[in-house]
A and B are shown apart, each in its own frame.
Chain A
Amino acid sequence: MNARFNPRGVWTVYRAEMARMRRTFWQSIATPVITTILYFVVFGGAVGSHMHSVQGVGYGAFIVPGLIMLTLLTQSISNASVGFYFPIFTKAIFEILSAPLSAFETVTAYVGAAATKSVLLGLIILITASFFIKLQILHPVWMVAFMLLTSITFSLFGFIIGIWARNFEQLSIIPAIIVTPLTFLGGAFYSIDMLPEPWRTLNLFNPVVYLISGFRWSFYGAADVRVMTSLACTLGFMAACLAAIWWIFRTGYRLKP
């Protein structure tokens, strides 16, 4: 370890977190993949076959970016929050806090692992979708960029929840009652142009609209809102999460009395 950075320490935590995903294969990988396949079968196949195209794309293909984004959001939050809350719950967190790791290194390790898991899941779902639906990706670099940005941003958000939560109920309450509804309302299964006023305008206050819209644009070149607005919205939320984490480590909130 050098005096300025502890890369082996970061790698150790990252690898341990990734090992946890392998240990919990069914919960971490199989369950979200099976759930997403069911969405394709029900919405893409059964319902979608009776629907017109949306934004010039077949309905089955239209919902793919939304479903991937739904997975990225929920899994990033879940992976990061559980990943950091569990050692707090078992009190094993003392080992991390008393190790020669900076706050930046600790966050990098936990958020990096959570984001990696989410991106892997997103890619698995994308590959799975390609077996059911003919996909096109017009802007692959932007697609990867949106995937990475979203995974990192919501892993940071999950990390904050992991520190804030006092019990397992609080750990799941924000993803369950805020994130999942916002994702469903944010255009995962429809274009927000399909909503009547004032619901369409109201939905523009939903940040997930911008994430899904930008991500869908990278696939099909069509979006509900301008792509730069989507990017700015994602970066803005990331900055807010980073500011919150900086404050947590500066004050020791819930970590160091």
Chain B
Amino acid sequence: MSSIITVSGLRKAYDTGFVALDGVDLDIAKGEIFALLGPNGAGKTTLISIICGLVRASAGEVRIDGHEINREYRAARSAIGLVPQDISLEIFATVWDTVRFSRGLFGLKPDNGFIETLLRDLTLWDKRHARILELSGGMKRRVMIAKALAHEPKLLFLDEPTAGVDVNLRRDMWVLVRSLRQRGVTIILTTHYIQEAEEMADRVGVIADGKLLLVEQTAALMHRFGKRRLRLELARPLAEIPASLSRWNLELAEDGRCLVYHFDANTTENGVQDLLRALGELGLDFTDLETGRSSLEDIFLTLVEQKA
């Protein structure tokens, strides 16, 4: 599939000397949902800001749908819709006017039918005559999305879209993102809710200290780095792990009441059967058994810690 974003050797050093991006290369395919993960100050927002024309790059090149963002800025920017992290709206304008304004900025003819559909999809139709200052935080966030979609972009950036929003809005937003993808819109999101990336993204990029640590299919990443965990609740607490169990590298938790075993999720020879047999032979009874799988969050933390 062809790329809608091509980032090559992108570097950003601010006047203070702080290097926010250090040689970033990235390709995003048309129609995919891409999640950019990273701790605060990793360079996520700087990367998005450069692509959208809000920050000037120190070096490197960005192309949107084949258009270089500085020389062909009109074509490049026309393809992009941006929902920034902060709610930033003209508070005295009405919902209807502010969404029409966004469409006009991109040189498109007014299309009341399209804007009506957009506002209905975002459950803003009943609020179309309300001024922004009269809206709740969640409603304002919906208006930000409506504005970003008003010019029917091919590419939508969502910078922390669900930060501080309620469960309903977060669920609606996920539905919206999936429906946009069905219409062929490419979506790039940054999020602190890693569960969000895990559930929605086709691919994940992890960024730290201005460098892309990896870019990988979400499923492949989960598979490659995924660990499983077996937790056994013991009938009687242990003071220490018996020496005969040392080959499983167990962890004794909760004041000796729990044994935890981490194993590779990708192998069949994981040692669980042998462990259970060995416990039986030692007469160590357990009252409960629980298995779990490491989340993308665990993987993300591991990667960032390895980098540090």
- List of B residues within 8 angstroms of A9 by Cβ: 104-107
Q: Which of A7, A8, A19 has the most CB of B within 10 A?
A: A8
- List of B residues within 8 angstroms of A52 by Cβ: none
A252 contacts which of B56, B74, B88, B97 (Cβ < 8 Å)?
B56
Q: A87-B90, A92-B88, A252-B56 are in contact. Are A99 and B108 (CB under 8 A)?
A: no
Besides A1-B78, A90-B88, A91-B84, 4 other A-B contacts (C-beta < 8 A): A6-B107, A92-B90, A98-B80, A256-B56
**CA A3 to CA B80, docked complex, whole Å:** 16
Q: A98-B52, A252-B56 are in contact. Are A1 and B104 (CB under 8 A)?
A: no
Nearest-CB residue, chain A, relative to B131: A23
B77 contacts A by Cβ under 8 Å: yes
Is the pair B77, A98 in contact by a Cβ cutoff of 8 Å? Answer: yes
- Which of A10-18, A35-43, A67-75 is the interface stretch? A10-18
**CA A23 to CA B74, docked complex, whole Å:** 31
**CA A70 to CA B104, docked complex, whole Å:** 35
B106 contacts which of A11, A100, A252 (Cβ < 8 Å)?
A100
Could you list 22 examples of A-B contacts with CB < 8 Å? A1-B78, A1-B107, A1-B108, A6-B107, A8-B107, A9-B104, A12-B101, A13-B105, A23-B92, A86-B90, A90-B90, A94-B52, A94-B82, A94-B84, A96-B105, A97-B53, A97-B54, A98-B52, A98-B54, A100-B75, A100-B105, A256-B55
Q: A94-B82, A95-B147, A98-B77 are in contact. Are A12 and B105 (CB under 8 A)?
A: yes
Is the pair A257, B55 in contact by a Cβ cutoff of 8 Å? Answer: yes
B89 contacts which of A1, A90, A100 (Cβ < 8 Å)?
A90
B86 contacts A by Cβ under 8 Å: yes
CB distance from B90 to the nearest CB of A (A): 5
B14 contacts A by Cβ under 8 Å: yes
- CB within 8 Å of A: which residues of B? 14-15, 52-56, 73-75, 77-78, 80, 82, 84, 86, 88-93, 97, 101-102, 104-109, 147
**CA A129 to CA B107, docked complex, whole Å:** 41
A101 contacts B by Cβ under 8 Å: yes
Is the pair B52, A100 in contact by a Cβ cutoff of 8 Å? Answer: no
- List of A residues within 8 angstroms of B78 by Cβ: 1, 100
- List of B residues within 8 angstroms of A100 by Cβ: 73-75, 77-78, 105-107
Is the pair B108, A92 in contact by a Cβ cutoff of 8 Å? Answer: no
**CA A3 to CA B104, docked complex, whole Å:** 16
CB distance from B83 to the nearest CB of A (A): 10
- List of B residues within 8 angstroms of A93 by Cβ: 88
Is the pair B90, A8 in contact by a Cβ cutoff of 8 Å? Answer: no
A1 contacts which of B53, B56, B84, B106 (Cβ < 8 Å)?
B106
**CA A92 to CA B52, docked complex, whole Å:** 14
- List of B residues within 8 angstroms of A256 by Cβ: 53-56
Find residues 77-123 in chain A having any chain B CB closer than 8 Å to their own CB.
86-87, 90-101
